Structures are given as structure tokens and as C-alpha cells.
Structure 1
């Protein structure tokens, strides 16, 4: 999270010839929340109208003042952010991905294991990618309550319980 802004999606490609774009959305309920959104890429501000929804959390959107495929192509791979106060409230046990990235990961006895590097979703569930301490490698684990039974945003850590097949410390 950066200065109260949450990453809500990324422009993946142009869509059609009139400047529309496809946006991979990271927040499931944003489409229910509004059909017009003002977003930023931390440099520019964009007013976006959601034109349609596709499968796999992808929307087709029209961006104000983007009127051609060439202009839309320049926006490919831009991450889009929204002021957190404008987002719908989360339910108990829900988190924005940006809130988790960078948090320390510890075992139940508070022994450090690593840090949250990224969160992915390849279809079945969210996957947390962890950077291991003192190693130049990372591991990916399912983001489930069994694997991460305690998340403490205030103190900045997640408790990790490694699946038995992987083993512990």
C-alpha cells in the first residue's frame, strides 16, 4: 500500500479500436461498487467507465480521453490504484493484497521465516509468494487460514503454519 492507495488492477491490453482496455481486477466487488472509477497510476489520474465484465476478474473499460488502440496500447501493464477510503468496507478476515505485501512472516513462536513478496491467483485460490530470509529464493504457499492462521496488520506480521508435506523449520 502506498500513501493510502490500494492497487486494484492492471491494464493488460487494448480492447478493440476505440481505445478501450482490458483490466485485470484484484478487488472482486469493485464492479458492484460503481460503474465509474477515478484511478491513478501514481503519475496520471484516469476516469474509467466499466463497459463490460469478462471472466477471470477482467473488465473492459473506457478511459476518458483515450480514443484509439494506439493510445490504449501505451497504457499496457500500468497498475491502477484507488484511494482506500473510497473502497467498499471489507468483511472480517478480508484483506487488500497491498496491505499484506512486505509484511513479515513468522512461525507461531515468532521465529522469522521471510516476507510477503507478492500475491498471485492462478484460478483456485490466492497464493502468497514469500521471500525467505537470508536466501535468494522464494516459495509459494496457498493463502488459507490453515497455512496462515493469524494475520496482524497492526504489528505487521503473518503467522505461518507450514503444511506437513513441506515440513517445519
Structure 2
């Protein structure tokens, strides 16, 4: 199993679950309402479409390694922070997508009802990042300040450029909204303090 494939310099995962936890009527007789709080789930992909006629799903992964979702035997599918758990029966990489067969999803009609649902795994099943590595959802929402102590904003998201990841920092400058794109590289990122929820960067206030 390629458990380390889910993490890179910043692992390609995003967490967008809300605080709502009421069960929703997802198809599949073998699905059960997830008892985990949303913060214990990490979104790894999205159901793009049904595949074929036997209930398979085409998944658009949010991971750098397309096939890393297949390392996890249980998936959580949901919308708007409401989740149900499914067991992965079979799966394979198909180009830049993943094809998956989940227990209880036996035909195309059931698969169609899951289109656009997010696919998450339990956070405690993710491989522990090495020192200096972070999952994207760990950085989203953190306050960003520069060496002079100026608050630049908060991390609204990240982008992959090929060479490195880029922090999308949303804040204000001279009383106007401002978005800054700050490369996540050692020359610019001085410290990442997850406990304090703060990133210190070598970046000018007027950049």
C-alpha cells in the first residue's frame, strides 16, 4: 500500500466540511451515517459521474497521486457536512480519475444520486506528514503575518504550480480587499505554527 503517496511538501487534500452532522438519505443499503465530527474527515475527492451501468463511480481526486484514495478501505460521502460511510469493494485508476465500486451502490441510478458528492477519509488514517510537510486543509484558515508583524490576511486556499505550492492569502491593504499569492518555499515561509494557527512569511505589506 502506498500510504506515503498521500503527502507531498504540502499534501494535496482539502477539508471543507461544515459543522452540520444530521444524516442525509444517501443511496445504498449498506451505507451508515457517519458518527465522526466533520473535523475528523479530510476531503480527498469528488464524485464526478456514474460509470457504466453497475453502480461504479468516477471520482475526481484532489490528491497529487491519483490512486492514493484506493489505499483507504472506507470512504465517507456527503454534501454540506452531512456524511455516510461506505466500504470500498474495488477500484482502479482511470487516467486522471479513479473508478470505484462501493458496497450498496448496485446500479447506475443509485450512482447518479451521488454525483457531485465529496469523498472523504478519516484524518487518523492519513499518513503522518514528515517534518516540514503539511496537508492543505491544515494550512487553510491560518493567519499570515510578515516579519514586521503586519497581518497579511488568512489562507483561503492553495494552488499547485508544478514547481511548488502557492498560498492564496486574502486580506486588506489600505482599507481595500487584497489577495496575495505567496509561494510556499523555504526562502519565504519562515515558520508554520499549527497550534497558534499562524504562518510567518518574508513578504512585504505592499507586495
Q: Same fold (TM over 0.5)?
A: yes
The alignment's TM-score, normalised by the length of structure 2, stands at 0.65
Residue 13 (str. 1) matches residue 49 (str. 2): yes
Structure 2 CA distance for partners of 1:160 and 1:70, relative to 1, 3 Å: farther
Residue 149 (str. 1) matches residue 190 (str. 2): yes
Cα RMSD over matched residues?
A: 2.8
Counterpart of 1:53 in structure 2 is 93
Count matched residues: 164
Residue 3 (str. 1) matches residue 39 (str. 2): yes
Gap regions ≥5 residues in structure 1: none
Q: 2:125 aligns with which of 86, 99, 123?
A: 86
Q: Could you tell me how far apart the structure 2 residues matched to 1:49 and 1:12 are?
A: 19
Q: Could you tell me how far apart the structure 1 residues matched to 2:58 and 2:45 are?
A: 10
Give 1:137 deviation, angstroms: 4.8
Q: Could you tell me how far apart the structure 2 residues matched to 1:14 and 1:82 are?
A: 20
Tell whether the 8 Å contact from 1:35 to 1:50 is kept in structure 2 after alignment.
no
Counterpart of 1:36 in structure 2 is 73
Counterpart of 2:20 in structure 1 is none
Give 1:151 deviation, angstroms: 1.2
The alignment's TM-score, normalised by the length of structure 1, stands at 0.77
Gap regions ≥5 residues in structure 2: 1-14, 16-37
SS in 2 for 1:146: coil
Residue 120 (str. 1) matches residue 156 (str. 2): no
Structure 2 CA distance for partners of 1:107 and 1:61, relative to 1, 3 Å: same
